[in-house]
Amino acid sequence: MDKKLVFYDIAMRPPAEKSNSAVNPWKTRLALNFKSLPYSTNWVQLPDISNVRKSLSVPACRKFADGTDFHTLPILVDPTTSRKLGDSFDIAVYLQKQYPAGNDLFPPQSLDYVFSSDAAILIPLSKCDDGGYPQYARFNVNVDAAFTTHVGLMVQGLPFDPATAEEAKAEFVRRAGVSCWEDFAITGEQREKLSGSFRDMLGGLAKLFGGNGPFLLGERANYADLIVGAWLRMASKTLPADEWKLVREWHGGVFGRLHDALEIYAAVQ
């Protein structure tokens, strides 16, 4: 590698390197650090993502329910190969294939986890190429669906940058077809119910971490741990403190241990 990789992440409340809470950029950051690759972070404000993505000529990998493009991060640019990638799973596959030395993101394992629910997901998830790792691709889709079904618990806790908060919130309101930001609040009995469902969903996932941990395959992490770990990073930064404490403790503390064991890959470069 001649030059550092360039990683585009979402800037939340300053300092951005403390409040970064978007799950898919977290998957990429954890993967870059796991592979010990030198990179720099370009922080992008939420309302600027479309322009940045278009200016890099990276096509959208997600669509809104009405079929229009949904421009997202992460993006990774590799100046050494001139490659530009705009999906966290594609990025992980690229990193493993282009930079195979060191930690292996995709050791063989079955990752037998399927999430099914009747709850609708507001914005459809991306359909991605499995990159030659179908078990991991399927796991990514199922874990994303499992957490996205419960993301309502986290939305109100997103640490927006005050400079762009009103604009960003208005866009979230528009997409959801609700009338104001306060409509996202989930409280009382409704919150207890969703929180119970979140606990049960995590119980299903915890079964995969049945060994001595802290990772799926024991002492060495892989991309499947990073996928769950990225959602835990988002949860840690957006859930009310008492709820995050519960998540850490549920199911014998498996997710608290996983989150903490991934701390070594969470540094911001």
Confirm or reject binding of residue 13 to ligand GSH (CB under 6 A). Answer: no
Measured from the CB atom, is 93 or 247 closer to ligand GSH? 93
Instruction: Give every strand in the sheet of 5-11, ordered side by side.
Output: 39-45, 5-11, 75-78, 83-85
Which stretch of DSSP H or E encloses residue 41? strand 39-45
Measured from the CB atom, is 72 or 222 closer to ligand GSH? 72
Where do we find the tokens 């190429």?
A: 129
What is the smallest separation between the CB atom of 128 and ligand GSH, expressed in angstroms? 6
Confirm or reject binding of residue 137 to ligand GSH (CB under 6 A). Answer: no
Q: List the beta strands (DSSP E) in 149-215.
A: none
User: Per CB under 6 A, which region of 84-92, 93-101, 159-167, 220-228 contacts ligand GSH?
Assistant: 84-92
According to CB under 6 A, which residues from 106 to 135 bind ligand GSH?
A: 126
Measured from the CB atom, is 54 or 245 closer to ligand GSH? 54
DSSP states along 226-239: HHHHHHHHHHHHHS
- Say which DSSP state 5 is in: E
Confirm or reject binding of residue 232 to ligand GSH (CB under 6 A). Answer: no
Contact (CB, 8 A) for 21 and 237: yes
Kindly determine how many residues on this chain lie close enough to bind ligand GSH according to the rule CB under 6 A. Answer: 14
User: Per CB under 6 A, which region of 85-93, 145-153, 158-166, 195-203 contacts ligand GSH?
Assistant: 85-93
As given in the structure block, the two tokens for residue 142 are 């199922």
Out of 31, 45, 58, 74, the only residue in the binding site for ligand GSH (CB under 6 A) is: 74
What is the smallest separation between the CB atom of 154 and ligand GSH, expressed in angstroms? 11
d(CA 175, CA 189): 25
Measured from the CB atom, is 122 or 252 closer to ligand GSH? 122
Burial of 208 per CB tally in 10 Å (0-12, 13-18, 19+): middle
d(CA 154, CA 223): 23
User: Per CB under 6 A, which region of 68-76, 107-115, 197-205, 239-247 contacts ligand GSH?
Assistant: 68-76
Chain residues binding ligand GSH by CB under 6 A are: 22-24, 46, 49, 61-62, 72-74, 87-89, 126
